[in-house]
Amino acid sequence: MDEIVGSDLRLWLQDPPSLFPLYRYQESEEKLVEEGFDSLDSILDYSGFVGFLVHELTSCGEEEKETLASMCDERARMLQDQFNVSMNHIQAMSVMISIFHHGKNPSAIDQRTFARYTEKTSFERPLTSGVAYAVRVLHTEREQFEIQQGWTIKRMDNVEQTPVHDDEYDPADLETSPVQEEYAPVIFAQDTVAHIISVDVLSGKEDRENVLRARESGKGVLTAPFRLLKTNRLGVILTFAVYKRDLSPNATPAERIQATAGYLGGIFDIESLVEKLLQQLASKQAILVNVYDTTNISHPISMYGSNDSFDGLHHVSPLIFGDPFRKHEMHCRFKQKPPWPWIAITTSVGILIISLLVGQIFHATVNRIAKVEDDYHEMMELKKRAEAADVAKSRFLATVSHEIRTPMNGVLGMLQMLMDTDLDETQQDYVRTARESGKALVSLINEVLDQAKIESGKLELEAVSFDLRAILDDVLSLFSGKSQDKKVELAVFVSSKVPATVVGDPGRFRQIVTNLVGNSIKFTDKGHIFVTVNLVEEVVELEDPTSSLSGLPVVDRRRSWAGFRTFNQEASTSSLSSSSDQINIIVSVEDTGQGIPLEAQSRVFNPFMQVGPSITRTHGGTGIGLSISKCLVHLMKGEIGVASLPQIGSTFSFTAVFTNGCSNLNDQISHQVNNQSNSISSEFQGMRALLVDPRPARAKVSKYHIQRLGIHVEVVPDLSLGVSTLGLRNAPINMVFIEEEIWEKDLGMSVLFLNNLRKDYRVSIKTLLLSNSTSAIRSGFSALDFPSPFVVMKPLRASMLAASLQRAMGVGSRGNYRNGEIHTSLSLSNLIHGRKILVVDDNPVNLRVAAGALKKYGADVVHADRGKDAISLLTPPHHFDACFMDIQMPEMDGFEATRRIRDIEASINNGIKGGELCAEAYGNVSNWHVPILAMTADVIQATNEECSKCGMDGYVSKPFEAEQLYREVSRFFQTVSDENE
């Protein structure tokens, strides 16, 4: 170009007259020279302009390269992003199959469920044309498997060798898979690829290599491009291995092969999917795209686009699809156009420059507007998809929870009814074991559903008044049997500065403490488990205790909260000076168990994580309890931490912010708790007790529980000082508590101590022995001709201790109840005895369970199995005191039935108030409103909200027990004694 410009310039300079043909008059030589110089300046200006044009054309070429690179990289990036989205969802599905198909017996998944789920969630896998699951079948299992499935395993390789068209494909025409060590037949498939059901993926070359590599590596792997069955189109398959159990990241290939249960594959129709993606990204300046598999660099495989060679401007963008073994590239180039002639460019350069400037401005403006519009539409589409996904997930959780919990309600209810019959000890043990196993399954289901609610942000906390000490007593009752079997001391201590009632979520607080104590029970075989509750300001200056509960060394609990923001200087000041209505408590769970290795402590709060692979096999569990606890603590505006030493033990601590409930004097639940506490301790108020225990930490716990009954307690370290103390005191001692360790240490001194009590004191002093196990004590007394003292079993709780003292001292109720069940059982009998209650449920087993639980406490129960029957029975006037209504019923569900009942009641109430109806015709009741309690297996927040909207008064999740019934009906019924007053 520079040569052309230079030759033109020399031509113009060599022929000056031709430069000025328009000048007809030459006034003088000087004027001519002057005009020539002016023209020369114009020529130089023009040559500079042409040089500028050349520079701009060169710059345009560089811009074209950058534009092509940007467009190519953008397409590659979006293809990678959408592939990663599909890959992540397929991996999540593999975990779901492992849990709900191989982890359940019977399986919770069948072909219909799999097809519906994959169809509903297909938008979460934007690049897949189908998903299928193949199960691993050994040759020894083949015959039984084919009988069970109703079809034979087909081979794939003959179809790969002789491809067929869509209208020619028939799965029945496939050959039976030959004999081999193992097979991988497809049992579940999305409807779009349902034709591959029964096909053995191990019989195809590409699929076999893919499957073997997937199960050995534990990661997703891709096949090379090959022709798909039926469609005969080019595609690849992404495969994830599904394992029977959790494996560590460092598991060997042999361990992974041994644990393999099947293979989940996502099918990608490359040609149609890449074409669809490029159509979404179509722009004004179209480019041609080729996608290659370059795993073998010398023989790349074309996956999309034409194979025509092109030596012009092009760009290569790498594609990373998650499988490091396979390499892919995207090649891009502009569509070819004939080059413009340089003469046309030079003659129309002015127009071009102006047009380019205007066009660039216009193009930039249009692109900006289009980009904003595209972003807006994309955001709206993503919003719709997210809302649809949220609805689908909520429905899925509701369905799964209902279908699992409904039969579990029948199982646990019938086992409870069986326990109330006359059984021998062996039968009771069998039934109790089955019931505990069922509860463990329900607990596992609740943990999985809680994790799903946490991930979706649907977990919300209640704000009700509750007795924190009663919650801790319930947790001790739950684990008392296990701690006694292991001879591990389980204890709780609550500071006197913690209010009697607080406002918060009692269920979630109980769940956190239960998870922490449950973990300690699993990993502690000797020593103790100690739960302490204090205000945060109490532990700021806490010193290291000189002795532990069991005498074994423990971890310094201060390390477990060392990183809490609450204890930082600035945060502590603001926290401790907060409003008097807000209280910040700290709960610590200390154990003397196995401890946690230092390298594993950072991940104990991660979901589905265990300390090591042997933990799950030895102790069980899903590894999500601590993760859920951490999320719940954060919802309570608190923090959670751990301090642990191997072979010493662990201490978990968490903080939680509650509202002081003592000011809420009108709170109904708080009133019930206070009444219950008063009824327990009133008969022991003012009594005095002597506690003999050499260990200060343990004596502090025992003193705390005895004082909860209104008893004054004095502590001495040994029996000799106990005798001296009794002799020096003027006030009488009503009872003596002796620690088992003191008693066993010197049995002769113990007997002498009892003889002195009987000889020196006219008033009978009851002697009670605090023990973790009755076996050693009974054997010790069997050798002596001396009546044994009354044994109080640990862990100590207020209700259990009160019942033990009642039996020992012959006061109050003498009923034989376990672990404080006396108060709940008696309260339930007082609440619902003689009440007429309607139970509505379409499941006959659930009807029997609910009716049995209510009849046990004296209720008059009427059954109904349809919503229409409930409307007829509850239309005023009637004599029902309450109704338990199932939600999911045929013809008319519980929501609709309740709405109609409330409409009928409102119509009658308005008629009576307006004088249109006579109150005598409706039993002289002017305001009809029967309490209706939802009875369902759906435990998600949306169901609870719907219950409130339709007019229900309460909510009982299946399976329910006596304590749940008491908590619900106590809000509507008064006890018999209260009514008499």
Confidence of residue 282 (pLDDT cuts 50, 70, 90): low
For range 505-522, the mean pLDDT:
90
Please report which confidence band the pLDDT of residue 50 belongs to, taking 50, 70 and 90 as the band edges.
Answer: very low
- Nearest Cα to Cα of residue 627 among 462, 452, 442: 452
pLDDT, mean of residues 748-776: 69
Containing H/E element for 544? Answer: none
Q: Please give the pLDDT value at position 27.
A: 44
- Would you state the pLDDT for residue 236? 85
Helices assigned H by DSSP within 769-922: 775-782, 798-809, 821-832, 844-855, 867-873, 894-913
Q: What is the pLDDT of residue 284?
A: 45
**How does DSSP classify residue 919?**
G
Question: Is the model's pLDDT at 529 over the cut of 90?
Answer: yes
| 309-360 per-position pLDDT tens digit | 666 778 899 988 878 888 888 888 877 654 555 565 677 677 878 888 888 8
How far is it, in rounded angstroms, from Cα 532 to Cα 560? Answer: 13
More confident residue, 276 or 805: 805
The residue among 777 and 882 whose pLDDT is bigger is 882
DSSP one-letter code for 835: -
Most confident of 205-219, 630-644, 718-732: 630-644
pLDDT exceeds cutoff 60 at 569 = no
Tell me, what's the pLDDT at 574? 47
Asked if the model's pLDDT at residue 976 lies above 60, the reply is: no
Listed in sequence order, the residues at least 6 apart from 721 whose beta carbon sits closer than 8 Å to its beta carbon are: none
pLDDT at 658 over 80: yes
Share of the chain above pLDDT 90, in %: 16
Say which range, 101-115, 175-189, 208-222, 957-971, has the weakest mean pLDDT: 957-971
- The mean pLDDT value of the chain amounts to 77
In whole angstroms, what is the distance from residue 118 CA to residue 816 CA? 55
Pairing of strands 528-535, 328-334: unpaired
pLDDT in the model for residue 764: 65
Instruction: Supply angle C-alpha 443, 396, 958, rounded to 5.
Output: 40
pLDDT over 70 (residue 496): yes
Residue 133 or 458, more confident: 133
pLDDT class for 22, splitting at 50, 70, 90?
Answer: very low
- Alpha-carbon distance of 461 to 503, in angstroms, equals 11
- Within 8 A by CB and 6+ apart from 725, the residues are 690, 714, 716
Q: Mean pLDDT, to the nearest integer, of 397-424?
A: 78
Residues 480-496 have a mean pLDDT of 90
Output the pLDDT for position 273. Answer: 74
Element spanning 30, H or E: helix 29-97
Q: Is residue 590 predicted with pLDDT exceeding 90?
A: yes
Element (H, E) at 239: strand 234-243
Q: Is the pLDDT of residue 256 over 70?
A: yes
pTM to 2 decimals? 0.51
Q: What is the pLDDT of residue 826?
A: 54
- The top-scoring range by mean pLDDT among 56-70, 672-686, 842-856 is 842-856
Strand partners, 260: 243
Three-state SS string over 400-445 comes to HHHHHHHHHHHHHHHHHHHHCCCCCHHHHHHHHHHHHHHHHHHHHH
Q: Band the pLDDT of 54: cuts 50, 70, 90.
A: low
Show Cβ contacts of residue 274 under 8 Å, excluding neighbours closer than 6 positions: 79, 289, 291, 303, 304
Q: Quick check: 254 pLDDT over 90?
A: no
Q: Higher confidence at residue 606 or residue 382? A: 382
Tell me which of 152 and 725 has the higher pLDDT. 152
> What gap in Å lies between CA 664 and CA 682, rounded to an integer?
23
How far the first Cα of the chain sits from its last, in Å, is 113
pLDDT, tens digit, for every residue of 347-383? 767 787 888 888 889 888 888 898 898 889 999 999 8
* Stronger pLDDT, 884 or 938, i.e. the higher one: 884
Q: Amino acid letter at 149? A: Q
Q: How confident is the model at residue 57, as a pLDDT?
A: 53
Cβ neighbours, 10 Å, residue 4: 12
